[in-house]
């Protein structure tokens, strides 16, 4: 295939993604809606020009060809527009990157590496085309926790998937994870996730990023982002290594949410996914 033909084919694929981006954006509404964190409650700020008294996430390229290991490079800029090169380590890392397609598939929680100029880089599995949301979760040195977001368009034919129905169980890699609790909009909620393998409780979970589990929640309506961590920590003398992992969080509004639980067992990280419906008040 000639270079001109390859370029034309790539442009045609991008056109499909742009059309999908317009449709999915209309369906889910604006990105950068309120977000929450176990230690803070900050808006997830979408990418914007510097000089607005805010940090910004600047992707080197917001368009990409599909592939299993696509390099992503980006900068975090401070309110003056300068690249951030000094971070406070939070949960064993300077920065956590959450990537998910806007139909809630293709979830990835990865940890980029940073060079001396402040540029971060990491390979992503972008085998399926579509519009992905990139969330950067970090703590600038001497500052408060920040969550930023940006769109990443992956060329190719986009086949959006419906949001799976609400369920209290999820299976992954031979594990079954059961969700219990009563999430309520605008109020403190306790969620308990219990892990079993082949029907037996897993009581030897391994620490992963300083915890026995990490939970991310995305609101189906607009991808509002919450990143919460469990109660207690490994080695504190009171927190068991499973089978239950307990979380405290607050859902900002009623509606459907997609939950992603990362846990480590037998030296491998697994991700269990749930859809939950958050009512306006407790149902009796």
Residues 76 and 120: beta-carbon distance below 8 Å: yes
pLDDT value of residue 109: 96
Pick the CATH number of 56-154 from 2.30.140.10, 3.40.640.10, 2.60.40.10, 1.10.730.10: 2.60.40.10
- The DSSP string of 18-62 is HHHHHHHHHHH--SS-B-EESS---BEEEP--SSSSS-EEEES-S
pLDDT value of residue 52: 47
Q: How confident is the model at residue 281 (pLDDT cuts 50, 70, 90)?
A: low
Q: How confident is the model at residue 41 (pLDDT cuts 50, 70, 90)?
A: very low
Which of 39-53, 100-114, 224-238 has the weakest average pLDDT?
39-53
Q: What angle do CA 53, 56, 60 make, to 5 degrees?
A: 150
Q: What is the CA radius of gyration of the chain?
A: 19
Classify domain 169-278 at the CATH superfamily level: Immunoglobulins (2.60.40.10)
Q: How confident is the model at residue 16 (pLDDT cuts 50, 70, 90)?
A: very low
Q: Is the pLDDT of residue 80 over 90?
A: yes
What number is the average pLDDT over the span 141-168? Answer: 95
Choose from 18-27, 125-134, 213-222, 250-259 the range with maximum mean pLDDT. Answer: 125-134
Q: Is the pLDDT of residue 150 over 70?
A: yes
pLDDT value of residue 50: 37
Q: Which tens digit of pLDDT belongs to each residue from 225-235? A: 886 768 899 99
CA distances from 70 to 19, 134, 220, 236 (A): 22, 14, 26, 39
Q: How confident is the model at residue 51 (pLDDT cuts 50, 70, 90)?
A: very low
Is the fold of 56-154 the same as that of 169-278? Answer: yes
pLDDT value of residue 53: 58
CA distances from 180 to 47, 250, 262, 276 (A): 35, 15, 17, 10
Of the two residues 169 and 228, the one the predictor is more confident about is 169
pLDDT value of residue 61: 96
Of 181, 201, 194, which Cα lies nearest the Cα of 251? Answer: 181
pLDDT value of residue 229: 67
Residues 56 and 50: beta-carbon distance below 8 Å: yes
How far is Cα 139 from Cα 78, in angstroms, rounded to an integer? 12
């Amino acid at each position: 295939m000639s270079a001109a033909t390859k370029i034309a084919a790539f442009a045609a694929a991008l056109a499909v993604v742009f059309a999908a981006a317009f449709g999915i954006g209309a369906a889910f509404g604006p990105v950068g809606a309120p977000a929450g964190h176990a230690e803070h409650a900050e808006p997830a700020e979408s990418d914007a020009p510097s000089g607005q008294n805010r940090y910004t996430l600047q992707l080197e390229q917001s368009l990409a060809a599909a592939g299993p290991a696509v390099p992503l490079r980006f900068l975090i800029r401070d309110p003056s527009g300068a690249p951030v090169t000094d971070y406070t380590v939070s949960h064993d890392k300077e920065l956590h990157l959450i990537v998910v397609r806007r139909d809630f598939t293709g979830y990835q929680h990865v940890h980029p590496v940073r060079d001396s100029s402040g540029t971060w880089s990491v390979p992503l599995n972008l085998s399926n085309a579509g519009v992905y949301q990139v969330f950067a979760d970090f703590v600038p040195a001497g500052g408060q926790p920040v969550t930023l977001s940006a769109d990443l368009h992956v060329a190719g034919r986009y086949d959006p998937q419906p949001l799976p129905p609400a369920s209290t169980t999820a299976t992954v890699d031979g594990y079954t994870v059961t969700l219990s609790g009563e999430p309520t909009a605008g109020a403190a909620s306790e969620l308990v996730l219990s892990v079993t393998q082949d029907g037996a409780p897993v009581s030897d979970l391994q620490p992963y990023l300083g915890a026995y589990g990490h939970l991310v929640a995305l609101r189906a309506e607009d991808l509002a982002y919450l990143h919460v961590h469990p109660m207690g920590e490994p080695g504190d003398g009171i927190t068991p290594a499973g089978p239950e992992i307990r979380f405290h969080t607050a859902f900002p509004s009623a509606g459907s949410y997609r939950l992603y639980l990362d846990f480590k067992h037998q030296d491998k990280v697994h991700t269990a996914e749930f859809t939950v419906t958050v009512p306006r008040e407790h149902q009796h």
